[in-house]
Amino acid sequence: RAAEEIAEMFGYLDPDNKQFYDENLVRYIYRVNHLSEKISRRASLKYHNKKIVCNNKITDFMQWLGCDIVAEYGKPENMSSAQMLRLSKKIKDTDTKYVIDNLQTGTSIGETLANDLKMQHVVISNFPLDYSYIQTLKDNILKIDKALQ
pLDDT digits (tens, 9 = 90+) for 115-149: 999 999 999 998 888 878 899 999 999 999 999 87
What mean pLDDT value characterizes the chain?
92
How many whole angstroms separate alpha carbon 144 and alpha carbon 62? Answer: 10
pLDDT of residue 143: 95
- Cα torsion angle, 73, 39, 139, 27, sign: negative
In this structure, which amino acid lies at residue 63? Q
Consecutive H or E run containing 121: strand 120-124
Query: Residue 140: which of 69, 109, 148 has the closest Cα?
Result: 148
Query: Residue 121: which of 94, 93, 104, 101 has the closest Cα?
Result: 101
132 DSSP 8-state letter:
B
Query: Which stretches within the chain are classed as H helix?
Result: 2-13, 18-46, 59-64, 81-94, 108-117, 133-147
pLDDT band for position 87 (cuts 50, 70, 90): very high
Is 80 exceeded by the pLDDT of residue 1? no
pLDDT of residue 132: 85
pLDDT band for position 101 (cuts 50, 70, 90): very high
How many whole angstroms separate alpha carbon 103 and alpha carbon 126? Answer: 8
In this structure, which amino acid lies at residue 138? K
- List CB contacts of 52: < 8 A, sequence separation 6 or more: 62, 67, 68, 69, 70, 96, 98, 99, 100, 148
pLDDT band for position 45 (cuts 50, 70, 90): confident
